[in-house]
Amino acid sequence: MRSVLSLLPLAAFALAQQHQVAIKEDNIQPVRPLVQEAISLLGFGTWRLTDNTSEAVSWAIQTGYRHIDCAAAYGNEREVGEGIRDGLAKTGLSRDDLWITSKLWNDQHDPKKVEAAIDASIEKLGVGYLNLYLMHWSVAQNAIGLNYIDYLDTWEAMEDLVDKGKTHHIGVANFSPHEIKEVLKHSKSHPPQVHQMELHPYLQQADFVKWHQDHNIHVTAYSPFAGTNPVYGPGDDAPTPLLNNSVIKEIAKDRDCTPAQVAIMWGLTRGTSVIPKSSHKEYITENLYSLQCILEEEDLKKIHKLGKEHFRFNNPAASWGVPLYEDLEDSLGEHKEHS
């Protein structure tokens, strides 16, 4: 049991070194490389943590997680913050030992509102500063309507947050290839260092992930268990629940792991950070110990084949009435190459 705890920072650091360096191409200003403050590749998700939120977050820290993924939109930052304080107290660690991410919600895209939004997240979480602040979606959305503010203007305001020391890094989530390229092209001095997106064996997005790695943008995989998050519902033509998929179960058996550990380690092996969420102590611990689930080349080949499903669970495009994920693999199973 002891070994994984010492393995965690080392493994994370080694992988971080491979995959996180300063962005150079198309950018004149030098950027602070992500590796100077390596993101711990296994993080803890907090979306839909409700009843015993602070217990779960505290337990995650006690178990060994050093990276917590939060968002204003999850509506639980205050409880997550209590969990962080409790976890730090119980482990004797300090704030600086953690990597804390939060996200700007769609109704705060007005450049005049961005600083107040991060201040609110920092205050609720009680963390002093963030390690990473993400634009949750490219979509500005409030009573005025949709996309009344250009995400590039929002991005410019987010760049100022780095200069003000409110967050060490900035990035985006759920952007299309065109949108991320636009941000990269128009950044003043802080290009996006992280892109968080839905990634699991049924939505592998290999071309898009590689494009980011080629441009030194670190990728974080959300919903690593595919449709397991109950908010996604069964879905009409959804594939077999990932953790019940016979290929995943077979690999888990061969490697003496659980299906959840296989799913997480597949993501870590690709060099992405992975942020599973659970409200249960046993799952939280099980997911941490995915670091001991070593996959072989043949396992990765089998999982690669599951990618033909191309199933995306998180797509509010229709309900919001905006195009999202343009030119990416979509839920109809079409695979579009990313150029």
Ligand X SMILES: NC(=O)c1ccc[n+]([C@@H]2O[C@H](COP(=O)([O-])OP(=O)(O)OC[C@H]3O[C@@H](n4cnc5c(N)ncnc54)[C@H](OP(=O)(O)O)[C@@H]3O)[C@@H](O)[C@H]2O)c1
Task: Please choose which of ligand NAG, ligand X, none residue 278 contacts, taking the beta carbon within 5 to 8 angstroms, the exact cut-off set by kind.
Answer: ligand X
Tokens of 254: 């061969």
Instruction: State the binding partner of 281 from ligand X, ligand NAG, none, CB within 5 to 8 A by kind.
Output: ligand NAG
Closest to 311 measured CA to CA, from 296, 290, 295, 325: 325
Min dist CB 145 to ligand X, Å, is 21
Residue 59 binds ligand X (CB under 6 A): no
The catalytically annotated residue of 65, 74, 133, 222 is 74
In the set 241, 285, 320, 335, which binds ligand NAG (CB under 6 A)? 241
How far apart CA 118 and CA 112 sit, in angstroms, is 12
Q: Residue 136 annotated as binding?
A: yes
Which one of ligand NAG, ligand X, none is in contact with 190 (Cβ closer than 5 to 8 A by kind)?
none
Tell me which H or E stretch contains 68. Answer: strand 67-69
Among 16, 45, 72, 140, binds ligand X (CB under 6 A): 45
**313 closest CA partner among 246, 223, 209:** 223
Q: Which is nearer to ligand NAG, 29 or 244 (CB)?
A: 244
> Which residues does 137 contact at the CB level (< 8 Å), separation at least 6?
106, 173, 174, 324
Residues 6+ away with beta carbon under 8 Å from 140 = 106, 107, 109, 110, 146, 147, 148, 149, 151, 154
Q: Is 129 known to be catalytic?
A: no
Applying CB under 6 A, the span of 151-159, 197-205, 273-281, 321-329 interacting with ligand NAG comes to 273-281
Measured from the CB atom, is 22 or 243 closer to ligand X? Answer: 243
Least distance from ligand X to the Cβ atom of residue 87, Å: 16
Among 279, 281, 300, 322, binds ligand X (CB under 6 A): 279
From residue 321, how far is each of 138, 139, 155, 169, 326 by CA, in Å? 13, 10, 22, 30, 14
- For ligand X, the binding residue among 99, 222, 266, 325 (CB under 6 A) is 222
Alpha-carbon distance of 202 to 48, in angstroms, equals 22
Contact call for residue 248 and ligand NAG (CB under 6 A): no
3-state secondary structure of 132: strand
Among 244, 305, 316, 327, binds ligand NAG (CB under 6 A): 244
Of residues 196 and 245, the one with the C-beta less far from ligand X? 196
Return the range that interacts with ligand NAG (CB under 6 A); candidates 53-61, 149-157, 175-183, 268-276. 53-61
DSSP state, 131? E
Q: Which residues contact residue 322 at a Cβ distance below 8 angstroms, ignoring those fewer than 6 apart?
A: 139, 146, 147
From the list ligand X, ligand NAG, none, partner contacted by residue 62 (C-beta under 5 to 8 A by kind): none
Member of 275, 293, 303, 328 binding ligand X (CB under 6 A): 275
∠ CA(67), CA(293), CA(265), 5° rounding? 50
Alpha-carbon gap, residue 28 to 25, rounded angstroms: 8
- Residues binding ligand X (CB under 6 A): 45-47, 69, 136, 173-174, 196, 222-225, 228-230, 243, 260, 275-280, 283, 286-287, 314
Catalytic residue ranges: 74
